[in-house]
Copies of this chain bind each other. A is one copy, B any other.
Amino acid sequence: MDTTVKYLNIAQDLTDKIKHDLYPTGTLLPSEADLTKLYGTSRATIRKALTELTNNGLIQKIKGKGSVVLNTARFTFPISGITTFSELNESQQMHATTKVLTLAEGSLPQDIIDQTQVKDPRVTFVQRLRTINEEPIVVDEDYILKSVVPNIPEKVAEHSLYRYFEETLDLEIAYATKTITVEPVSDKMCQFLGLGATNNLAVVVRSLTYLNDTTFFQYTVSRHRPDRFKFVDFARRHHHGQ
C-alpha cells in the first residue's frame, strides 16, 4: 500500500475520495495548482496522478475548466482490464465457490504453441467450475507453463492462482490479450454450466497472459453461461485523425 511512489499514492487518495463522495459526481476537482499545494508536490506529479484517474474513467479533464468527476456508480462491475474471479468475488458481496474439476500435467494446444512460439510446451492444466449463489457461472481452463510455474498445489487451485503467482512466486503479470466469442460447446460442458437442451451456446473468453519481461506464461479458456455473462468496459476515443 505504501508504494513510496508519490503519484500513485495521490491517485489512490483521490480515487478513495471520489468513491466516498468527498468529490461528488459532476463537480470539479481542485485545480492542479491547488492540488500541488494540497499534496506539497510538483504539478507534473499531480498531472501523472490525474492521468491515472483519467485512464480509469473516474474523471474527464476539460481544458480551461478543470477535472470533472464522472458518474462511477454504473461501474461497480469492472471486468475490463485484467481482473480475476477472486478479486471480483471479494469486491462484490456474493457467495462464490470454486470447484476443481481437473488438475493435471499436459501440453499447450498446438495453435497456441504456434501463436506464441513457446519452446517448452509443458503445462499444468487446471479446470475449474465457478458458482455464484449455488448457480454455475463459468468453467475456466488454465494452461500454465511449467517452465515458469513448476507446480501448482491443489489448495492454490481451489482459491486464487493469481495470488499464488504474484504474492508467493513474485511473478509480475503485465498484460494480456483477450478474445470474446460465442460458440457451441460440448454436452459435458452444457452439463457443467446447467444449459438446457435447446441451447448449447456459451460465451468463450480466451486470454494469453504475459509477464513483465514479455514471456508468455498462461493460456486461459473461460466458458460462461450466456445468460449470466456481462462484460463492462470504459473506452476512450482516440483521435483517429488521418
Binding site for B on A (CB under 8 A): 1, 3, 55, 57, 60, 62, 68, 70, 74-75, 80-83, 87, 115, 173-182, 198-199, 201, 203, 210, 212-214, 226-227, 229-238, 240-242
Contact = CB atoms under 8 A, between A and B. Distances in A.
Contacts of A178: 231-235
A241 B1 contact: yes
A214 B180 contact: no
Given A3-B241, A70-B214, A241-B3, A234 B179 contact: no
Contact of A182 (B70, B74, B203): B203
Q: Is the interface of A mostly helix, strand, loop or mixed?
A: mixed
Q: How many subunits of this chain does the assembly comprise?
A: 2
A180 B1 contact: no
A231 B236 CA distance: 16
A19 to B, nearest CB: 15
27 contacts: A3-B241, A55-B55, A60-B214, A62-B214, A75-B177, A80-B233, A80-B235, A82-B235, A82-B236, A83-B240, A174-B236, A174-B237, A175-B237, A176-B234, A176-B237, A177-B232, A177-B233, A177-B234, A177-B235, A179-B230, A179-B233, A180-B229, A180-B230, A181-B231, A182-B182, A182-B203, A182-B227
